[in-house]
Structure 1
Amino acid sequence: MLDKDNSKVLEDQLSWLQSYINSSEKKSQLYKRTLVIVIISQIFGGAGLAAGVTVGALLAQNMLGTDSVTGIPTALFTLGSAGAALLIGRISQRFGRRAGLTTGFLVGGIGAIGVIISSLTTSIGLLFVSLLIYGAGTATNLLARYAGTDLANSKQRATAASMALVSTTFGAVMGPMLVDVMGNLALSMSIPALAGPFILAAAAYILAGLILLAFLRPDPFIVAKAIANAQQTNGTHLSEEEANGSGTNKRGIFAGTTVMVMTQFVMIAIMTMTPIHMGHHGHNLKEVGLVIGLHVGAMFFPSLITGYLVDKVGRTIMAIASGITLLTSGILAAVGPADSMALLITALVLLGLGWNFGLISGTAIIIDATHPSTRAKIQGSVDVLIALSGALGGGLSGMVVAHSSYATLSFAGATFSLVVIPVVVWSHINQNKGQ
């Protein structure tokens, strides 16, 4: 009797999957619905990310009473993000995007709650552990860009990824604006004001997770795997490599990873030291905030246009554009007068734009180079490297400036940005040879 019940369940599962395999219209409808759900969840996810990051260093400083630990929260976010990216990628590969992304956001929300409790109990150990866990939300925010691409065709993938990035921006802009409001709310609840933004972070992350849990069904990644398996079985719409059972292009994975890792490294290194550089040359906090605010805007707001260009003019061209844009940014930051707001703004806007070009083109290259049978796991592993490269860039930037200058750092960043060009050209040439 039990075997019959299990058989019936399996037949039902195969039936609904078959309906998506056989109907391009149903696949298209699910693709559009998935984008809407991802966009909504990312708005909340962005709010959770930005609200906590804004005051993390200040909270650590307040609890420990020293400036020497203000860099620890960022380090813990990054470390937690790297570990979570690996875990979420593997959960998504086995159980689908819904399970992986929901887990990541809920864990991030639990981390935010832990930060609140640590502020009430003045427990430094709990604060650091909670910040590490909170990093799961950061990883999930970035990995969610892949969810909308699972059912996209090769001419839609970059655009789909860019939609997730744009929607994250809305939350990321809203979160810091609510810092004072959340601080006052926290005080009314007898919670330290600096923990207030983590109340928003906890609520936003948990809500983002619940939205995905409730509405990201059918799971786009499970459907995409079923379609790919059916095509492989039938031998249709496959390249020779895929027909032989391997849909993985290692050169493409290397190229896409290199683009995203190097752009992250260069962007974080120069961005991290720009406020310090400006402070040393008499710029006030308002001016620093303007430069960094415009930089962050350039990182995300152009995403829809970038996604369109990546899909239309090609991954390789836009990856090369990323390297050239970062090169220009580094040179301007290095040679421009330190008292010139116009040049600093131009350099940092180009820095954000170059990162945007690199992230979206690199994301599309990775998707093109992977097969659904391993795609989510590879994506998670790549995002681990992105997180670690950012941590390395931020850490090394301070050492370079301390032992040399901001100009040296900027020139070094400009030089490193050129690495992406020969790598993507090499990958593109080898890909064309294989066709």
Structure 2
Amino acid sequence: MSTRNLTVLFFCQLISATGSIVLVTLGGIIGSSLSSNPALATLPVSMMVVSVAATTIPASLLMRRIGRRAGFAMASVSAGASVLMAAHALQTVSFGWFIVSASVFGINMAFSQQYRYAAAESVAPRYAGRAISLVLLGAIGGAFVGPELVSRGAAWGDTPYVGTLLSLAVLYVVQALLFSLLQPLRGESAGSVAGAGRPLAAIVRQPLFIASVLCGTAAYGVMTLIMTATPLSMHINDGYALDETARVIRSHVIAMYLPSLVSGFLLERFGTIRLMAVGAVALLGACLVGLQGHSMLHYWWALVLLGVGWNFLYVGGTTMLTLTYSLDERFRAQAVNEFSVFGTSATASLLAGTVIHLYGWHTLVLLPLPLLAVTLISLYFVRGNSLLRKVAPQAA
């Protein structure tokens, strides 16, 4: 393994997770304070996710041309600029500027989602799952730093949360500098030229490719829908304090990334399909718990199950995806996956505020059930695919 690369990606994941948690936690709350229409409260967060979806293909194509190191560093600079714009929006009480800043922030998120590919390309193929899970583990730090910035930053400066956003800008400068330490990945050696590979249609027609994209889409779509709606349901509709809401979100984010301590090893030991099936069942459990009530405990358990299910399904889906293409084909295949995953995530984010406002929490947690059923069916049909033995020969 490339210890240096994984270390750099680990700390950059920590910073990116910190920024994402702050924007997701505060996005709907700030939006509701700046907008006169409650249904538009989550619009900034939704536009952020739409921006992620719109940037995924350009991000992949840009990094194919200039390399991951330069692409990641440029994205860090854009994130720093976006949080400065968000601070300006708060100071000028401008909902429009806040929407713009959230949209620009989504550019960096499109790049940061590909840290996991950089991790997989830093190691031998059979260790891809372990590398992906180790880098995602960096977000646990963000689960602590992000909520602390939210709660403490409210008192920094004359305008609430401006200090939080300025602190994020400093972190993104550090992140841009860290990427200068990233070493070339597999397929990025000096003078290497990417070949054409197979036609894109041949890649996306593979049953394993289709299943991996579907699983990644389900993992991120369900997680985004419920996580985006939770602060509104808890803080705005049910009257929980901001600290209580932030505590549930913190537990959710820890549950998203703490399993990364073991998910890569579990994948190698028990196989990709089994790990992903457990993840899909955990997401189903999150929805069922959410149907039981609105107490603090109901929210906490639903969001914890949501996090664990996301981790197993997402790590497994990303690892499965890496088995379906060669290094020459990686950017095109990854672009299709990222656009599918984050296009669905954008739709889920757009739906969250409207569904909560018009129909309530119970209706929202019912929506993912058909998609999760299809996900489990797809895993059943690809369970014997020979490509899976590249990751865990003893448990394919």
Instruction: Provide TM-score, normalisation by structure 1.
Output: 0.77
Answer yes or no: is the 8 Å Cα contact 1:157–1:311 preserved in 2: no
Which residue of structure 2 lines up, in the alignment, with residue 305 of structure 1?
262
Q: By how many angstroms is 1:65 displaced?
A: 5.9
Q: What does 1:185-224 correspond to in 2, within 5 Å?
A: 185-187=156-158, 192-212=159-179, 214-223=180-189
Which residue of structure 2 lines up, in the alignment, with residue 15 of structure 1?
none
Which residue of structure 2 lines up, in the alignment, with residue 256 of structure 1?
212
Q: By how many angstroms is 1:360 displaced?
A: 0.4
| SS of residue paired to 1:39 | helix
2:228 and 2:100 map into 1 onto residues whose CA distance is 24
Answer yes or no: is the 8 Å Cα contact 2:53–2:346 preserved in 1: no
Corresponding residue to 1:366 among 321, 335, 341 = 321
Deviations 1:89-133 (A, max 9, x none): 111222221122112212222222233344455555444323211
Corresponding residue to 1:316 among 273, 278, 301 = 273
Which residue of structure 1 lines up, in the alignment, with residue 57 of structure 2?
86
Q: What does 1:21-36 correspond to in 2, within 5 Å?
A: 28=1, 31-36=2-7
Q: What does 1:235-274 correspond to in 2, within 5 Å?
A: 250-274=206-230
Answer yes or no: is the 8 Å Cα contact 1:329–1:414 preserved in 2: no
The gaps in structure 2 that reach 5 residues or longer are: 391-396
Answer yes or no: is the 8 Å Cα contact 1:248–1:371 preserved in 2: no
Answer yes or no: is the 8 Å Cα contact 1:109–1:137 preserved in 2: no
Q: What does 1:332-411 correspond to in 2, within 5 Å?
A: 332-334=289-291, 336-339=292-295, 341-397=296-352, 406-411=361-366
Answer yes or no: is the 8 Å Cα contact 1:89–1:381 preserved in 2: no
Answer yes or no: is the 8 Å Cα contact 2:19–2:168 preserved in 1: yes
Q: What does 1:110-189 correspond to in 2, within 5 Å?
A: 110-120=81-91, 124-179=95-150, 181-187=152-158
2:359 and 2:34 map into 1 onto residues whose CA distance is 33
| SS of residue paired to 2:126 | coil
Answer yes or no: is the 8 Å Cα contact 2:13–2:112 preserved in 1: yes
Identity %: 24
Instruction: Please say which structure displays the higher CA radius of gyration.
Output: 1
Residue type matched to 1:292 in 2? I
1:305 and 1:65 map into 2 onto residues whose CA distance is 45
Q: What does 1:3-18 correspond to in 2, within 5 Å?
A: none
Q: By how many angstroms is 1:157 displaced?
A: 0.8
| SS of residue paired to 1:158 | helix
Which residue of structure 2 lines up, in the alignment, with residue 24 of structure 1?
none
Deviations 1:245-289 (A, max 9, x none): x88873222111100101222223333444555565675555544
| SS of residue paired to 2:47 | helix
Residue type matched to 1:222 in 2? E
Q: By how many angstroms is 1:329 displaced?
A: 2.5
CA 201–228 in structure 1, closer or farther in 2 if over 3 Å, else same: same
The gaps in structure 1 that reach 5 residues or longer are: 1-27, 233-240
CA 379–224 in structure 1, closer or farther in 2 if over 3 Å, else same: farther
Which residue of structure 2 lines up, in the alignment, with residue 419 of structure 1?
374
2:383 and 2:102 map into 1 onto residues whose CA distance is 40
Larger relative contact order (CA 8 Å, sep ≥ 6): 2
| SS of residue paired to 1:222 | coil
Answer yes or no: is the 8 Å Cα contact 1:84–1:104 preserved in 2: no
Which residue of structure 2 lines up, in the alignment, with residue 6 of structure 1?
none
Residue type matched to 1:86 in 2? I
Which residue of structure 2 lines up, in the alignment, with residue 326 of structure 1?
283
- Give the CA RMSD over aligned residues: 3.4
CA 346–62 in structure 1, closer or farther in 2 if over 3 Å, else same: closer
Answer yes or no: is the 8 Å Cα contact 2:156–2:164 preserved in 1: no
CA 397–53 in structure 1, closer or farther in 2 if over 3 Å, else same: closer
Answer yes or no: is the 8 Å Cα contact 1:51–1:200 preserved in 2: no
2:203 and 2:81 map into 1 onto residues whose CA distance is 37
Deviations 1:392-413 (A, max 9, x none): 2233345556665644443442
Tell me whether 416-425 or 215-224 shows the greater mean CA deviation. Answer: 215-224
CA 327–288 in structure 1, closer or farther in 2 if over 3 Å, else same: same
Which residue of structure 1 lines up, in the alignment, with residue 394 of structure 2?
none
Q: By how many angstroms is 1:290 displaced?
A: 3.8
1:271 and 1:345 map into 2 onto residues whose CA distance is 11
Residue type matched to 2:176 in 1? G
Residue type matched to 1:295 in 2? H
CA 98–429 in structure 1, closer or farther in 2 if over 3 Å, else same: same
Instruction: Provide TM-score, normalisation by structure 2.
Output: 0.84
Count of aligned positions = 386
Corresponding residue to 2:10 among 39, 53, 68 = 39
1:307 and 1:398 map into 2 onto residues whose CA distance is 34
Higher helix proportion, which one? 1
